[in-house]
Amino acid sequence: MTQASTPTLVTVAERAGVSRQTVSNVLNSPEIVRPDTRERVLRAIDELGYRTNVVARQLRTRRSFLLGLRMPPAADGISGQVLDRFLHALTEEAQGSGLRIMLFAAADDEAEIREYENLRTTTGIDGFVLTATHSGDTRTRWLSDHDIPFATFGRPWDPEPAGRAAEASAEGVPPKPGHHAWVDIDGRAGTRAATRHLLDAGHRRIAFLGWPEGSGVGDDRHAGWLAAYEEAGLEHAVVQRAEDGVAEGTAAANRALADPGVTALVCVSDSIALGALEAVRELARSEPDRAPVAITGFDDTPVAGAVGLTSVAQPIDQVAARIVEQLRAQIDGRPEDVPDHQVLIEPRLVVRTTSRTEHRR
């Protein structure tokens, strides 16, 4: 009766002439085993091609080394690309740390929370990665309350809920508003760099093309433009707002360029910037005498590179790495080992042709 099936701990143990848990020890606490025994066991493992069955281990240890991620609804915009890259980096980074990514779908936050519970009790998932945090996000609260490891790509955008925190601590519940692990890109720093870059080139009236007020990400980027102006001791110029999209960008740019003094546009996204590019081209055609208008985008999507758009690049790889790091520490029960629980990563300005027009007062 040949042992044709895949080898188990017992198979290895028999071969090495030891007991089953000695093999287990060699695998999990090698330092506890005498060197020569260890050597013998390792050889048997190698000869048999033994691979540990993680399902069995999971049943025993209740740890799956699985991370759940909701596959967010396909973004219409060009900016959806960012998520794609994040997913890729995350998969790679997780794999490097012995974790796996499991995808799931959910229609909305409420459904997502239901799925957390489901995946947790059902497949024993160890933790979750959240994207697209927004103000009034109920997911982080739920996960915190249930002591489930998680980290978010994106800050908590809520204002500090002083009222609730006070109330909660009165009831003895630890107030932890937004005190979860998160990693985010410093959008403010990004647009500030872009705006400075344009100010340095001599531009004085730089319009900001943003999203409607109220989105955390959008407001953050707007703040960077403001900051650059304040730091330069200048008065800020025009702001135009629009939903994300190329056509919307064209319209917003046209409104901004109605002011004849405007010589540059800082855009909240590459989609908007692409639309602005269109508007600027049209302007160059209709008013050949007007000074060339510089443009910067945000996200550094492939299209930006393609059309020569100066843009703010998000170091997605870093984001993924830190998220995995934080999650791994939480899962291993040593969250204190990761000093930076909440990480803001500085983006990088990638200068291309659309901002290369020098201006002097």
By rule CB under 8 A, what count of residues binds a copy of itself?
54
What is the nearest approach in angstroms of DNA to the Cβ of residue 126?
Answer: 14
What is the nearest approach in angstroms of a copy of itself to the Cβ of residue 100?
Answer: 6
Interface with DNA includes 247 (CB under 7 A)?
no
In the window 152-171, what residues touch DNA (CB under 7 A)?
A: none
In the window 305-324, what residues touch a copy of itself (CB under 8 A)?
A: 305-307
R_g of the chain computed on alpha carbons: 27
Nearest to 87 by CA among 317, 331, 329: 317
* Closer to a copy of itself by Cβ: residue 3 or 6: 6
Interface with DNA includes 192 (CB under 7 A)?
no
* Closer to DNA by Cβ: residue 7 or 80: 7
| Tokens describing residue 194 | 């872009």
What is the nearest approach in angstroms of a copy of itself to the Cβ of residue 211?
Answer: 16
Q: In what order do the strands lie in the sheet with 310-313?
A: 239-241, 206-210, 264-267, 294-299, 310-313, 348-350
Contact flags string 125-164 toward a copy of itself, x per CB under 8 A: ----------------------------------------
With tokens 């069955």, the residue in question is: 53
Interface with DNA includes 250 (CB under 7 A)?
no
What is the nearest approach in angstroms of a copy of itself to the Cβ of residue 107?
Answer: 10
Interface with DNA includes 21 (CB under 7 A)?
yes
Among 14, 37, 92, 313, binds DNA (CB under 7 A): 37
Among 20, 134, 205, 241, binds DNA (CB under 7 A): 20
Interface with DNA includes 9 (CB under 7 A)?
yes
What are the residues whose beta carbons fall under 8 Å from the beta carbon of 339, sequence distance 6 or more?
none
| Tokens describing residue 255 | 């409104």
Among 84, 213, 230, 259, binds a copy of itself (CB under 8 A): 84
Contact flags string 86-115 toward a copy of itself, x per CB under 8 A: -xx--xx--x----xxxxxx----------
Among 42, 54, 232, 283, binds a copy of itself (CB under 8 A): 54
Question: What's the CA gap between 125 and 101, in Å, rounded?
Answer: 10
Compute the CA torsion angle 271, 276, 278, 279 (nearest 10 deg). 150
Q: Contact residues for a copy of itself (CB under 8 A)?
A: 6, 51-56, 58-59, 64, 66, 71-78, 80-81, 83-85, 87-88, 91-92, 95, 100-105, 118, 121-124, 245-247, 271, 274-275, 278, 281, 285, 302-303, 305-307
